[in-house]
Amino acid sequence: MGEIKEDIKEILLSKRKIKKKVKKLGKQISDEYRGKNPVFVSILKGSVIFLSDLLRELKIECSVDFMAVSSYNEKTESSGVVKLIMDLRESIEGRHVLLVEDIVDTGLTAGYLRDVIRMRNPESVEICTLLSKPAARELHIECRYTGFEIPDEYVVGYGLDYSEKYRNIPYIATLKSEVYRR
Q: How far is the CB of 156 from ligand IMP (least distance, A)?
A: 6
Q: What is the 3-state secondary structure (H, E, C) of 31-56?
A: HHCCCCCCEEEEEECCCHHHHHHHHC
Q: What are phi and psi of 15, to 5 degrees?
A: -55, -45
Residue closer to ligand IMP (CB basis): 36 or 137: 137
Q: Which one of residues 102, 125, 130, 175 is an interface residue with ligand IMP (CB under 6 A)?
A: 102
- 171 contacts ligand IMP (rule: CB under 6 A): no
Q: How far is the CB of 107 from ligand IMP (least distance, A)?
A: 5
Q: Residue 47: which residues within 8 A CB-CB, separation 6 or more? A: 100, 101, 102, 130, 159
- 135 in Cβ contact with 141 (< 8 Å): no
- Under DSSP, the state recorded for 165 is B
Stretch that binds ligand IMP, among 14-22, 54-62, 83-91, 149-157 (CB under 6 A): 149-157
**Pairwise CA distance, residues 124 & 132, whole Å:** 22
- Concerning whether 7 is annotated as a catalytic residue, the answer is no
Q: Which one of residues 28, 30, 106, 124 is an interface residue with ligand IMP (CB under 6 A)?
A: 106
**Pairwise CA distance, residues 94 & 92, whole Å:** 6
Residues 63-92 that bind ligand IMP (CB under 6 A): 71-72, 78
- 108 contacts ligand IMP (rule: CB under 6 A): yes
- 107 contacts ligand IMP (rule: CB under 6 A): yes
- 45 in Cβ contact with 161 (< 8 Å): yes
Stretch that binds ligand IMP, among 14-22, 52-60, 114-122, 152-160 (CB under 6 A): 152-160
Of 87, 105, 115, 152, which residue is the catalytic one? 105
